[in-house]
Structure 1
Amino acid sequence: MSIELRHLRCFLAIAEESNVTRAAARLGLTQPSVSRTLASLEKRMGVRLVDRSTHHLALTAEGRAFRDKAAAAVAAFDEALDTGRLRRRPLRLGHAWSALGPYTTPLLRRWQREHPDTPLELLRIDDRTAGLARGEVDAAVLRGPVDTPGLVTELLFTEPRVAAVPSDDPLAARASLTLADLGAGPVVLNTVSGLTTPDLWPEEIRPTATVTVANTDDWLTAIAAGRGAGASVASTAQMHAHRGVTYRPLSDAPSAPVFLAWRSASPHPAVRQLVALARAVAGSTGPAGPR
């Protein structure tokens, strides 16, 4: 038996729904049919992709690794059959939050002026690689270390870190803050697409209490509600103003690198032009290289 597109779509529906019944409804198939398709795929692959031993369906380690490859394959197939996109194939640029900060609008305006035949689509995707590893975008703005296999990165610039505290918190009255100031109370972490982890703090002042959220909007809401403080980068303060959140410089935290990343295999033809323009707009001369 060969693996067909229907096997990949079935697996991806199961992975996204975490439930065979919901995946079947989404695909317009019966539950037994979806189960048989998954079993056929696992037999052909020679590995178990989905763990069915618990009440809550979960992907195995092999399933998680295969998910990104399957998503990229399906996205490539769908795009190849989209005749409208073949005539004017857009360049999809992903970001998890803040894009290129103050350079975002200049980049979009110059691209439209200099490359009118290739639309540049800016997409916010709450994912550590902003959809790049899953094939949802052609390039992505990523902050912090990039260790996903198969990606090439270009360092564009670095930006300072900032603290984000509730506007009615006494810390908001200070001109600047330190990691120790934030670590004294709960810290709000975006564990899905955010840059900050407890490792930002030295071990002796590492926060003992954290609040986890899944995106920037929830991060801001949690801080404004007084559930804790947060740490981010200067672009967040510029792009995500919130009346309940006050940003202050974080004086003892290292600056964060900002990369433009793309897949090394079959990159979009206009990626190199995007890299050149992003470097020009940001005034960067960072080296490129695989990560």
Structure 2
Amino acid sequence: MSTSQGPGRGVEVRHLRAFLAVAEEGGFTRAAARLRVSQPVVSRTLAALESRLGVRLVDRSTHHLALTPEGAVFRDKAALAVSAFDDAVTPGRPRPRPLRLGHAWSALGPYTTPLLRTWQQRCPRTPLELLRIDDRTAGLARGEVDAAVLRGPVDTPGIVTEVLYTEGRVAAVAADGPLAARASLSLADLTAGAVVLNTVSGTTTLGLWPPDDRPAATLTVANTDDWLTAIAAGRGAGVSGSSTAGMHPHAGVAYRPLEDAPPLPVLLARRDGPAHPALAELLSLAREIVTWDGE
């Protein structure tokens, strides 16, 4: 497969396969092992693809290899092209690539298992992979996933969101601390001590409190595991969506409803542009699943 003129001239399926392997494996070494070629071959093939397209697809300047915005868009186009090619040359043996659904910490809460089970029943030929990725867009902006479950407002350019439902917020406090003895709490109850903030993938900020009644101190962490550990150790309290209580139980942490905190919107997000062929089915099923409680 190649083009005869203009940008993209000379692009072949092997170029696309190399790019997709690098994007999906997150590095040249694993991509080379997957393709059963040497690392220099993968690097040269990707460089040739970028040269022929006239655009940089992979950011090699960071310790963690990431797709450029152009690479994230091109990934879906490349996957569709390779899938179409494979279907054409192996009729009757379609090999749909997995649909990757990212999340930062609690996926769809109580709807997660029903979604995965129903998807397996209805779409057995397309695997649905649930991936936890600790960043604000759960890997969506970097092209690591096809869609993502996110919470709170998302203003990242190029990402389209849909509110599936809202959930209440809870306070997470040390299980052996005085606040754990209360049936419910208010935001003001948390201001006397420190509040633990996950600044990488969390949604809670000091803006949740009135300017004149904010917590005395903050402790910042980078993921949910460290957030739970700090709270269990009595280093501060935390605030999260109610699904966190069910998805992340911890012997040292007690979850209590927050009476006066605004609800947290739960979003299904995708990139604006070409998408995985099964994404529309995922959107439809997610909408269906979250309405079951109301029937």
CA distance in 1, matches of 2:281, 2:76: 23
What's the CA shift string for 1:46-95, capped at 9, x where partnerless? xxx999xxxxx99xxxxx9x844445546865786586997122111110
Q: Offset of 1:195 from its aligned partner?
A: 1.1
Aligned ranges 1:44-55 → 2 under 5 Å? none
Structure 1 position 242 matched with structure 2 position 250: yes
Q: Offset of 1:268 from its aligned partner?
A: 1.4
Partner of 1:94: 102
Partner of 1:158: 166
What's the CA shift string for 1:125-181, capped at 9, x where partnerless? 111011111111111101000111112212110000000001111001001111111
2:221 counterpart letter in structure 1: V
TM-score between both structures, scaled by the size of structure 2: 0.72
What's the CA shift string for 1:170-193, capped at 9, x where partnerless? 001001111111122111111110
Asked if 2 retains the 8 angstrom alpha-carbon contact of 1:75 and 1:136, the reply is no
Q: Offset of 1:205 from its aligned partner?
A: 1.1
What's the CA shift string for 1:172-227, capped at 9, x where partnerless? 10011111111221111111101111111111111231111111011101111111
CA distance in 1, matches of 2:205, 2:214: 10
Structure 1 position 192 matched with structure 2 position 192: no
Structure 2 counterpart of 1:109, from 98, 102, 117: 117
Distance change in 2, residues 1:167/1:208 (3 Å): same
Distance change in 2, residues 1:193/1:236 (3 Å): same
Structure 2 residues without counterparts, runs of 5 or longer: 1-6, 28-37, 41-46, 88-92
Q: Offset of 1:103 from its aligned partner?
A: 0.3
Structure 2 counterpart of 1:230, from 238, 244, 248: 238
Aligned residues: 245
Point out 4+ residue stretches in structure 1 off by more than 6 angstroms: 2-5
Aligned ranges 1:262-281 → 2 under 5 Å? 262-281=270-289
Asked if 2 retains the 8 angstrom alpha-carbon contact of 1:91 and 1:121, the reply is yes
Asked if 1 retains the 8 angstrom alpha-carbon contact of 2:100 and 2:130, the reply is yes
Q: Offset of 1:236 from its aligned partner?
A: 0.3
Structure 1 position 221 matched with structure 2 position 229: yes
Structure 2 counterpart of 1:138, from 135, 146, 157: 146
What's the CA shift string for 1:17-68, capped at 9, x where partnerless? 9xxxxxxxxx978xxxxxxx9xxx9xx99xxx999xxxxx99xxxxx9x844
Asked if 2 retains the 8 angstrom alpha-carbon contact of 1:72 and 1:136, the reply is no
Distance change in 2, residues 1:50/1:112 (3 Å): closer
Distance change in 2, residues 1:116/1:166 (3 Å): same
Structure 2 counterpart of 1:122, from 118, 121, 130: 130
Aligned residues with identical type, % of pairs:
63
Partner of 1:256: 264
Q: Offset of 1:280 from its aligned partner?
A: 0.9
